[in-house]
């Protein structure tokens, strides 16, 4: 009589059972604090007076009031509000390339500078301060009376830009985006600096001897060498831009007239102002799905790197 426990298949099963036993405590915690709330949110978002429908989603997407709308197509081409979702999109389109490129260029330029660690630390401070404080600082930077930027614009004779940016729909979104470039630059710079420092010095020296100009060295040697870091920075920045809430809340409250509102802020309005949990949950689900797409890429990439 052969013992069942000896066959390779049952050994494999045993192995799996043991693995899940070890995972059980963590799984239990995750179920209570992550999986259940997610399921709950989805369920709330689908529930309305008529039972389970997509009503909340349709309502959220077709909302037309400037403070809560996701897309206001009729304003396109003119000044904001364009709708929260489009604000996020514009934010990403401007912020991600700007922060990534600026951090990369600055990181390489700083390798030529004496006392670069001081400069790096100063820039990194923006990463350490809480985002809410960052939002308040943005308000001050763009304040018509005391702000640096309006003063500068006034000095240059640009009277339209010499006022409080956050108070006008034409400039409020721009002020937040520019401010966020400053806030996020420390991260981009730090990651890129580490990557630049990792480039073997001989690569750059070989290129210099080969007669490459600084620009060619940057283009052909530095950029390819730090590309993985650049992708990471870009995706992280993109994720942050999708989820952005705190600096909007602190600096403009999405205003004036919804001209700087974003997805997460709309969700918060439904949740905390309108007390409409169904719509808040629907907005949250939309936001999560968008974020997951970017996050999935990041996770897959980091797993791929580990495999190598």
Query: Which positions touch other proteins (CB under 8 A)?
Result: 200, 202-203, 205-213, 216, 220-221, 224-225, 227
The 3-state DSSP composition of the chain as helix, strand, coil percent (nearest 5) reads: 75, 0, 25
Nearer to other proteins (CB atom), residue 62 or residue 213 = 213
Question: HEC states along 63-90?
Answer: CCCCCCCCCCHHHCCCCCCCCHHHHHHH
Nearer to other proteins (CB atom), residue 157 or residue 211 = 211
Burial letters 4-19, b for 16+ CB under 10 A, else e: eeeeeeeeeeeeeeee
Nearer to other proteins (CB atom), residue 183 or residue 207 = 207
Residues whose CB is less than 8 angstroms from the CB of residue 53 and which lie 6 or more positions away in sequence, other chains included: 46
Nearer to other proteins (CB atom), residue 109 or residue 225 = 225
Q: Give the single-character DSSP code of 266.
A: H
Give me the least distance between CB of 233 and other proteins, in Å please. Answer: 18
Nearer to other proteins (CB atom), residue 3 or residue 308 = 308
Give me the least distance between CB of 199 and other proteins, in Å please. Answer: 10
**Residues 285 and 42 sit within 8 Å (Cβ to Cβ):** yes
Give me the least distance between CB of 217 and other proteins, in Å please. Answer: 9
Q: Which residues are registered as beta bridge partners of 224?
A: none
For the chain, give the longest Cα–Cα distance.
Answer: 97
Give me the least distance between CB of 109 and other proteins, in Å please. Answer: 19
Number of C-beta neighbours around residue 152 at 10 A:
12
Give me the least distance between CB of 204 and other proteins, in Å please. Answer: 9
Distance of CA 70 to the CA centre of its chain: 18
Nearer to other proteins (CB atom), residue 120 or residue 208 = 208
Nearer to other proteins (CB atom), residue 78 or residue 224 = 224
Give me the least distance between CB of 212 and other proteins, in Å please. Answer: 4
Pairing type for strands 47-48 and 51-52 reads: antiparallel
CA distance 198 to 303: 21
Give me the least distance between CB of 116 and other proteins, in Å please. Answer: 18
Four-CA torsion 238, 241, 242, 246, nearest 10 degrees: 150
CA distance 256 to 260: 7
């Amino acid at each position: 009589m052969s013992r069942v426990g000896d066959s390779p298949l049952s050994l494999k099963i045993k192995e799996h059972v043991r693995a899940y036993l070890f995972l059980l405590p963590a799984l239990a915690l995750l179920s209570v604090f992550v999986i259940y709330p997610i399921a709950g949110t989805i369920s709330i978002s689908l529930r309305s007076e008529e039972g389970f429908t997509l009503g909340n989603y349709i309502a959220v997407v077709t909302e037309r009031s400037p403070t809560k709308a996701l897309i206001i197509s009729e304003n396109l081409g003119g000044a904001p509000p364009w709708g929260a979702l489009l604000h996020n999109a514009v934010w990403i389109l401007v912020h991600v390339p700007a922060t990534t490129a600026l951090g990369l260029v600055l990181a390489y330029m700083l390798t030529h500078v004496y006392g670069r660690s001081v400069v790096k630390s100063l820039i990194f401070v923006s990463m350490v301060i809480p985002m809410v404080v960052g939002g308040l600082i943005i308000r001050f930077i763009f304040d018509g009376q005391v702000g640096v930027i309006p003063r500068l614009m006034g000095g240059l004779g640009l009277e339209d830009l010499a006022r409080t940016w956050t108070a006008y729909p034409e400039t409020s979104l721009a002020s937040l985006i520019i401010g966020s470039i400053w806030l996020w630059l420390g991260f981009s710079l730090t990651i890129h600096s580490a990557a630049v420092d990792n480039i073997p010095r001989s690569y750059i020296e070989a290129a210099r001897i080969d007669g490459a100009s600084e620009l060619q060295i940057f283009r052909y040697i530095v950029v390819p060498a730090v590309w993985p870091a650049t992708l990471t920075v870009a995706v992280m920045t993109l994720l942050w831009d999708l989820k952005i809430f705190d600096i909007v809340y602190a600096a403009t409250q999405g205003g004036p007239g919804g001209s700087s509102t974003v997805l997460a802020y709309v969700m918060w309005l439904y949740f905390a102002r309108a007390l409409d949990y169904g719509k808040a949950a629907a907005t949250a689900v939309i936001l999560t799905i968008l974020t997951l797409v970017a996050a999935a890429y990041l996770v897959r990439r980091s797993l791929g790197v580990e495999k190598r």
